[in-house]
């Protein structure tokens, strides 16, 4: 086997060692309106590799940096009812794996190499190429990246490698009453060690109308839904909550095309009296102002410098909220009938827009069903009727062998 260095991706992510050990990796999955055609998927995957050549390389950790190597092994889509663990022999040690089964396509990846925004870029390109071939329809101006044979540094720039330049240092967000905060200890794997997940979906227009009615945006509304659910499920508790809202920093650092880790964490403290008071619009305005402050360029650069100085953020937080945005591959988006995102956590809420609906994934360990039902009821109180797309189930662990 010939192995040659292709690209140095910069400082190693702290997720590297965990990626090597965990049985749960970041995954995007879609269900289509037909059974997958293997030849067309293989062709689409090969075309995607030309758009993002790094996905066909082997990452390794060398002197604290991620280095990508080329070799002569192949990493085709794998037919399997179980997701395949990245970095294993069956996928030629690649950090990106495509599996398919019946009408479902799944992409798994190393979090140390890529973040959710990057997965979305690559996966959207793959879906575009596949459905373009399957339907014979294409877009004059595709909403996904299709340029081939770009240099790696055109689409792989990790946040840790970017110079921040001059900026005004801003105060970080702090918790005023940390001692009184609480977490739900039942947000943990069940008795069998399984991580539970579920999904509901709501009409985008109804959700946005409810947001506007209280002066919220989607991220603010996610915070309100989780806060209300937490307090309603714990009527004996009235301490403060703290959430982490993940956000891409690509725009701030002028690297919109990067697939590398380029996310930042916004810390959102919430007080009981705000959420459970009579004026939810006032609470919404307060939460939104905290979010907007942290989305400012100077704050993000301040936070990035802090992160680089201390290497990792230790924060007591209740749950992680991620608004992914919209899954849009053009006119063929209509053939995507379902979307799923999962990771290794038991305290996460993901939301993505697909074909006029928000798909909300809830991953809260053995209390997933309780939170799902509570959020459904709270949405109804806001005038938004939701539908259970997928009842709570145990996420399938990654495997190093294919399963029928």
Separation of alpha carbons 377 and 317, rounded Å: 24
d(CA 76, CA 380): 45
Mean pLDDT of 315-344: 91
User: Is the model's pLDDT at 44 over the cut of 70?
Assistant: yes
Q: Report the candidate in 342, 227, 245 with the shortest Cα–Cα distance to residue 292.
A: 245
Same topology for domains 3-160 and 167-394, yes or no?
A: yes
Provide the CA 113 distance to its chain's centre, in angstroms: 14
Rg of the chain (C-alpha set): 21
280 within 8 A of 325, measured Cβ to Cβ: no
> 6 CB contacts (<8 Å, ≥6 apart)?
53, 54, 57, 68, 69, 70, 152
Pairing of strands 241-248, 78-79: unpaired
User: In the structure, what pLDDT confidence band is assigned to residue 175 with cuts at 50, 70 and 90?
Assistant: low
pLDDT of residue 2: 81
- State the pLDDT at residue 6: 95
pTM summary value: 0.93
CB 44 within 8 A of CB 32: no
CA-based nearest residue to 84, from 129, 36, 27: 27
Backbone angles phi, psi at 122, to 5 degrees: -65, -45
Return the pLDDT at 214.
97
> Is 70 exceeded by the pLDDT of residue 124?
yes
CATH class of residue range 167-394: alpha beta
pLDDT category at 11 given cuts 50, 70, 90 is confident
Pick the more confident residue, 163 or 121.
121
Q: Burial code of 189-199, b = ≥16 C-beta within 10 A, e = fewer?
A: ebeeeebbbbb
pLDDT score at 308? 66
pLDDT level of residue 156 (50, 70, 90 thresholds): very high
Alpha-helical segments (H) within 235-296: 272-275, 280-294
> Per the structure block, which two tokens stand in for 133?
């071939």
**DSSP conformation class of 84:** B
| 155-183 average pLDDT score | 80
Which distant-in-sequence residues (6+ apart) come within 8 Å of 403 by Cβ?
80, 81, 82
285-311 per-position pLDDT tens digit: 999 999 999 999 999 888 888 776 655
- pLDDT digit string, tens, across residues 67-77: 999 999 999 99
302 Cβ contact list (under 8 Å, min separation 6): 167, 169, 170, 172
| Predicted pLDDT at 311 | 55
The CATH number of domain 3-160 is 3.30.559.10: yes
Residue 262's pLDDT band (cuts 50, 70, 90): confident
Q: How many CB atoms lie within 10 A of CB 296?
A: 14
Distances (CA, A) of 281 to 116, 161, 220, 270, 323: 31, 40, 11, 14, 21
Q: Name the band, by pLDDT with cuts 50, 70 and 90, for residue 176.
A: low
- Give the residue among 223, 202, 361, 359 at the shortest CA–CA distance from 292: 223
Region at 315 (left for phi over 0; alpha for psi -120 to 50; beta for the rest)? beta
Residues 366-394: b if buried by 16+ CB within 10 A, e if exposed: bbbebbbbbbbebbeebebebeebbebee
In the chain, where are the structural domains located? 3-160, 167-394
pLDDT single digits (tens) 178-215: 566 778 889 999 998 899 999 999 999 999 999 999 99
**Tokens 């002028």 identify what position?**
254
Highest mean pLDDT among 164-168, 258-262, 306-310: 258-262
- pLDDT, residue 164, reads 81
- Under a CB-based contact definition with an 8 Å cutoff, are residues 306 and 298 in contact? no
């Amino acid at each position: 086997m010939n192995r040659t260095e292709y690209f140095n991706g910069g400082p190693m992510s702290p997720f590297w060692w965990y990626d090597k050990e965990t049985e749960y990796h970041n995954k995007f999955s879609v269900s289509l309106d037909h059974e997958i055609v293997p030849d067309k998927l293989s062709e689409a995957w090969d075309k995607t590799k030309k758009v993002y050549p790094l996905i066909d390389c082997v990452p390794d950790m060398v002197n604290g940096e991620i280095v990508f190597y080329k070799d002569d092994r192949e990493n085709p889509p794998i037919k399997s009812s179980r997701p395949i663990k990245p970095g294993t022999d069956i996928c030629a040690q690649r950090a990106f794996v495509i599996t398919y089964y019946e009408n479902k396509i799944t992409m798994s990846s190393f979090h140390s190499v890529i973040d959710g925004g990057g997965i979305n870029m690559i996966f959207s390109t793959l879906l575009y190429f596949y459905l373009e071939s399957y339907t014979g329809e294409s877009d004059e101006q595709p909403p996904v990246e299709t340029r081939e044979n770009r240099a790696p540094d055109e689409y792989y720039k990790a946040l840790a490698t970017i110079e921040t330049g001059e900026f005004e240092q801003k105060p970080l967000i702090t918790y005023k009453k940390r001692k009184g905060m609480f977490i739900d200890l039942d947000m943990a794997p069940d008795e069998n060690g399984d991580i539970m997940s579920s999904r509901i979906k709501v009409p985008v227009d109804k959700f946005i109308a409810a947001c506007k009615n209280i002066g919220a945006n989607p991220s603010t509304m996610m915070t309100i839904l989780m806060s209300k659910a937490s307090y309603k499920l714990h009527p004996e508790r009235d301490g403060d909550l703290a959430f982490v809202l993940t956000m891409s920093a690509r725009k701030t650092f002028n690297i919109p095309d990067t697939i590398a880790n380029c996310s930042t964490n916004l810390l959102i403290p919430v007080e009981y009296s705000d959420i459970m008071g009579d004026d939810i619009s006032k609470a919404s305005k307060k939460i939104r102002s905290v979010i907007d402050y942290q989305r400012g360029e100077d704050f993000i650069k301040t936070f990035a410098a802090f992160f680089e100085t201390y290497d990792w953020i230790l924060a007591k937080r209740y749950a992680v909220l991620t608004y992914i945005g919209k899954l849009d591959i053009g006119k063929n988006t209509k053939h995507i009938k379902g979307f799923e995102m999962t990771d290794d956590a038991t305290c996460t809420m993901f939301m993505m827009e697909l074909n006029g609906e928000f798909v909300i994934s809830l991953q809260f360990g053995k209390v997933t069903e309780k939170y799902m039902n509570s959020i459904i009821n709270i949405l109804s109180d806001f005038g938004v009727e939701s539908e259970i797309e997928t009842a709570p189930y145990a996420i399938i662990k990654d495997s190093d062998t294919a399963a029928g």
